[in-house]
Amino acid sequence: MNPYDESVAGIVLRVIAYVVLAPLAGGLLAGLDRKVSAWMQGRVGPPVVQPFYDVAKLLSKEKIAVNRYQNFFVFLFLLYMIFTGSLFFAGASILIVVFVLVLASLFFVLAGFSVNSPYSHLGAERELIQVLAYDPVIIILAIGFYVVTGTFNVGSIYQASREGFLVLHLPGIFAAYLYVLTIKFRKSPFDLSMSHHAHQEIVRGLTTEFSGPHLALIEIAHWYENILLLALIYLFFAFSPVIGVAVALIAYFAEVFVDNAFARVKWQVMLASTWVFTITAGVSNLIILHYLLRR
């Protein structure tokens, strides 16, 4: 059975499924994250649906703002995050998906910059360093897919992945991607710009000046992003849906484990280690592939 349908109806269905189901799945995963962290810390923890309570509560709060435009940037962040995720599930070019993902993250950064608050600015600067750290990896990811499958198109990559063992061709790039997932999921040791936990030396970092409904939108946008990131893991293992979903979930909970096990590091350590790991694992993978496939 080929669940991947190239027709317009298939695309529309997948996009609607993403737009409707991703926040639900993302919220559940966030709740499971908290439950598992609680279990690791020897306590009960909140109910698994707690993130939904949080978002609902935030949506019902009074609207306050520091300046006129910060909330518009948050709205753009959410809009383009949904857009890029929809592009991915519709099967568009992975390069465009990556670039629009960076665009969406940039709106979040600009939201932080637009407020004249030192904590917000520090959070925005750190977020930019995070982008500097992970941006090469996601482009190398796209390059890796292209070198193996000959196309940038997510739909075709998915087809190729169903037929071949993509992860066996791209182990280094997969490893590098897992490394930067810590940054993207905002988990210690790389949760420099904002953190869901109490330990934040710059108050709430990038989200300091956002409250109420707009904080809720940021949270929902992060859920959309998380589902997109997990779907990228699935793309490596599409030959078996069960294994694909399993690896994605294992990766997610491994991140939760790492989050609980490590303290936050300085940006120098994050940037240096990410780039070194990217070059060692990802670039060497590409070079080996290039010479293997040329024959």
Partner 1 sequence: MQPLHIIVFLILFPLLLAVASLAVRSLSVGRIAATPANALIAAGSILLLFLTGSEPIYFTVESSLLEHFILAAEIGMGLLVTYLGLNSKRYFIVFLGAVMTAMTAVFEIICPPAADAVHHLFIDRLSVIMALLIGILGTLIINYAIGYMEEYHEHHKEVKDRRRFFGFLMYLFLSSMFGLVFSNSLKWMLFFWEITTLCSFFLIGYRNDRESQDSAFRALWMNVLGGIAFSAGVAYLSLGTGIVDLDQMIKAGPAVAMLPAVLLAFAGLVKSAQMPFSTWLTGAMVAPTPVSALLHSSTMVKAGVYLLLKVSPILSGSPAGLCITSIGAITFLFASFIAVSQSDSKRVLAYSTISTLALIVMCAGVGTANAAWSALLLIIFHAVAKSLLFLCVGVIDYKLHSRDIEDMDFLIEKMPKVAAMMNIGIAGMFLAPFGMVISKAVTLKALVDIHPLLGVALAFGGGATTFFYAKWMGKTLMVTPRAENKEGAISSWEWVTLAGLSFLTIAVCLSFPLISSGLVDPYIALVYGASPTLEKSTLILIVVTMTSLLVIFPIGVIYNARHRDYRLVGPYLSGVNIDETSFAGAMGSKLYPDTRNYYLARWFGEPILLQGGLLCAGFFIIIMMGVVLL
Partner 2 sequence: MSFLKKSPWLLHYNASSCNGCDFELFAALMPRYDPERFGVINTGNPKHADILLITGSMNVRNVEVVRNLYNQMPSPKVVVAVGICATSGCVFADAYNVLGGVDKVLPVDVYVLGCAVRPEAILDGILKAAQVLEEKYRAFQAGKTDKTEVPA
38 touching partner 2, by CB under 8 A: yes
With CB under 8 A as the contact rule, the residue among 33, 54, 125, 191 that binds partner 1 is: 125
Structure token pair of residue 102: 């960076």
- Whose CA is closest to 286, among 135, 82, 143? 143
146 binds, among partner 2, partner 1, none (CB under 5 to 8 A by kind): partner 1
148 touching partner 1, by CB under 8 A: no
Rounded least distance, CB 95 to partner 1, Å:
5
> Which one of 49-57, 129-137, 179-187, 244-252 is the stretch in contact with partner 1 (CB under 8 A)?
129-137
Query: Given the complex with partner 2, which of 63 and 295 has the nearer CB atom?
Result: 63
What 3-state DSSP class applies to 118? Answer: helix
Structure token pair of residue 112: 């932080």
Query: Given the complex with partner 2, which of 55 and 251 has the nearer CB atom?
Result: 55
54 touching partner 2, by CB under 8 A: yes
List the interface residues with partner 2, window 192-221 (CB under 8 A): 198, 200, 203-204, 207-212, 215
Rounded least distance, CB 3 to partner 2, Å:
36
> Which one of 31-39, 51-59, 90-98, 180-188 is the stretch in contact with partner 1 (CB under 8 A)?
90-98
If one counts every other C-beta atom within 10 angstroms of the C-beta of residue 46, the result is 13
Structure token pair of residue 217: 């939108």
Contacts (Cβ under 8 Å, ≥6 apart) of 191: 197, 259, 264
If one counts every other C-beta atom within 10 angstroms of the C-beta of residue 248, the result is 21
Number of residues forming the site for partner 2 (CB under 8 A)? 30
Query: Given the complex with partner 1, which of 75 and 253 has the nearer CB atom?
Result: 75
If one counts every other C-beta atom within 10 angstroms of the C-beta of residue 79, the result is 14
User: What are the residues facing 93 on neighbouring strands?
Assistant: 153
If one counts every other C-beta atom within 10 angstroms of the C-beta of residue 57, the result is 11
Rounded least distance, CB 16 to partner 1, Å:
18
